[in-house]
C-alpha cells in the first residue's frame, strides 16, 4: 500500500532528519513508530502527506510516487489519508461539527451525507454533546477526539497519527489509543508515532524503532529498542 524507498532528508545545514529509510505498509496494518524526540518520526509522516519533500529516495502510495503527483492528484490522495496531529490543528473559528464537515465538503460529499455522518462520527468518539462547541471550549482530549473524528469521517484508507497523545494526560492518552484501535478493527490502516513506551506496550503489533533518522528495528511482535 505504502512504500518508503531509501528516503533521506538532509537540511541545508547538512543535518540528516532521515537517512535512507526503507519500509512498507500493508493494508489494515497497525504500525507504531517509536523513537526519541528528533529521531525523524514526524519528518517521516510529513513525507507521506507531502508536507515535506525527500532529498533522496521516493515515497510510493499504491505505486504512485507521492512527490511527483500533480496538485489535483495530491488533493485526492490527501482525502484518502486521515491526519491526526499532536497540536490538534483544528480550525479555531469553526465548531466541532464544522471542522469535521469541512473535511467532508473538501471531499465533495453532499449536504445530506454531511448532516448524517458528522453527528454519527462525533458519537463514535463520544463527543455527541459537544457538537456545536468551538475548539477553545474543548479540553485537550476532546480536541484530539474531534481531530480523530475529522480524520475518519471521510473513511480514509489510512490514518496517520503523529504523536496524537503528546499533549494529553494519561487518561485521555489511553482513551485516544482505544479509539484508534477501534478504527483499526473497523478495517483502517493506522500509522502511529509516539515516544511513549507505555503506548507501544499497550498496542503491541508491528513496531518500528527509529534513531537519528534511521530504522534500527522493525519488529512484528511489539519489540522495540529505546
Partner 1 sequence: MIFTHFKRITRTGFINFWRNGFLSFSAIIVLTLSLGVFGALIFGSAFGRALIKEVKNKVDINVYFVLDAEEPDILTLRKTVESLPEVDKVEYVSRDQALAEFKDKWKDNSLILQGLEEIGDNPFPAALNIKAKEPSQYAGIATFLDSKNSLSQDGSNIVEKVNYNQNKLIIDRLGRIIPAVEKTGSIIALLLVIVAVIITFNTIRLIIFTSKDEISVMKLVGASNMYIRGPFVVSGVMYGIFSGILTLVLLAAFAYYSDAIIMKFSGVQGAKDFSLLMNVFSSYFLQNFGQIFAIIMGSGIILGAISSYLAVKRYLRV
- Options 12-20, 67-75, 169-177, 194-202: segment touching partner 1 (CB under 8 A): 67-75
**116 binding partner 1? (CB under 8 A):** no
Per CB under 8 A, the list member of 15, 65, 110, 197 interacting with partner 1 is 110
CA distance 203 to 180: 10
Per CB under 8 A, the list member of 79, 182, 214, 217 interacting with partner 1 is 79
Per CB under 8 A, the list member of 21, 90, 118, 125 interacting with partner 1 is 90
Per CB under 8 A, the list member of 26, 51, 169, 219 interacting with partner 1 is 51
**75 binding partner 1? (CB under 8 A):** yes
Q: Minimum distance from CB of 79 to partner 1 (Å)?
A: 4
Q: From the CB of residue 86, how many other CB atoms can be counted at a distance below 10 Å?
A: 18
**83 binding partner 1? (CB under 8 A):** yes
Per CB under 8 A, the list member of 77, 124, 152, 192 interacting with partner 1 is 77
The answer to whether 59 and 67 have CB atoms below 8 angstroms apart is: yes
CA distance 53 to 126: 36
**103 binding partner 1? (CB under 8 A):** yes
CA distance 96 to 127: 9
Q: Minimum distance from CB of 154 to partner 1 (Å)?
A: 8
CA distance 152 to 139: 20
Cell of 176: 485516544
**76 binding partner 1? (CB under 8 A):** yes
Cβ neighbours of residue 70 closer than 8 Å, sequence gap 6 or more:
none
**136 binding partner 1? (CB under 8 A):** no
Residues in the chain: 226
User: What DSSP letter does each residue of 163-196 carry, written as one string?
Assistant: STTTTS-HHHHHHHHHHHHHHHHTT-EEEEEES-
Q: Which of 161, 165, 182, 163 is nearest to 173 (CA)?
A: 165
- Options 14-22, 58-66, 90-98, 188-196: segment touching partner 1 (CB under 8 A): 90-98
CA distance 28 to 4: 17
Residues at the site binding partner 1, with contacts judged by CB under 8 A: 49, 51, 71-72, 75-79, 83, 89-93, 102-103, 105-108, 110-111, 150
Amino acid at each position: 500500500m505504502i512504500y518508503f524507498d531509501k528516503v533521506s532528508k538532509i537540511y541545508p545545514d547538512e543535518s540528516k532528519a532521515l537517512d535512507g529509510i526503507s519500509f512498507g505498509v500493508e493494508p489494515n496494518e497497525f504500525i507504531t513508530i517509536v523513537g526519541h524526540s528528533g529521531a525523524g518520526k514526524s519528518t517521516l509522516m510529513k513525507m507521506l502527506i507531502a508536507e515535506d519533500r525527500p532529498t533522496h529516495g521516493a515515497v510510493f502510495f499504491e505505486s504512485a510516487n507521492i512527490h511527483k503527483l500533480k496538485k489535483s492528484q495530491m488533493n485526492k490522495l490527501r482525502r484518502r489519508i486521515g491526519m491526526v496531529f499532536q497540536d490538534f490543528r483544528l480550525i479555531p473559528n469553526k465548531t466541532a461539527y464544522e471542522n469535521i464537515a469541512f473535511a467532508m465538503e473538501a471531499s465533495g460529499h453532499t449536504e445530506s451525507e454531511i448532516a448524517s455522518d458528522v453527528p454519527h462520527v462525533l458519537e463514535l468518539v463520544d463527543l455527541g454533546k459537544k457538537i456545536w462547541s468551538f475548539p477553545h471550549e474543548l479540553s485537550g482530549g476532546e480536541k484530539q477526539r474531534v481531530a480523530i473524528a475529522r480524520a475518519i469521517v471521510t473513511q480514509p484508507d489510512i490514518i496517520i497519527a503523529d504523536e496524537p497523545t503528546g499533549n494529553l494526560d494519561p487518561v485521555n492518552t489511553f482513551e485516544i489509543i482505544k479509539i484508534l484501535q477501534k478504527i483499526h478493527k473497523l478495517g483502517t490502516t493506522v500509522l502511529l508515532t509516539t515516544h511513549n513506551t507505555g503506548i507501544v506496550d499497550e498496542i503491541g503489533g508491528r513496531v518500528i524503532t527509529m534513531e537519528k533518522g534511521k530504522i534500527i528495528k522493525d519488529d512484528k511482535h511489539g519489540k522495540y529498542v529505546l
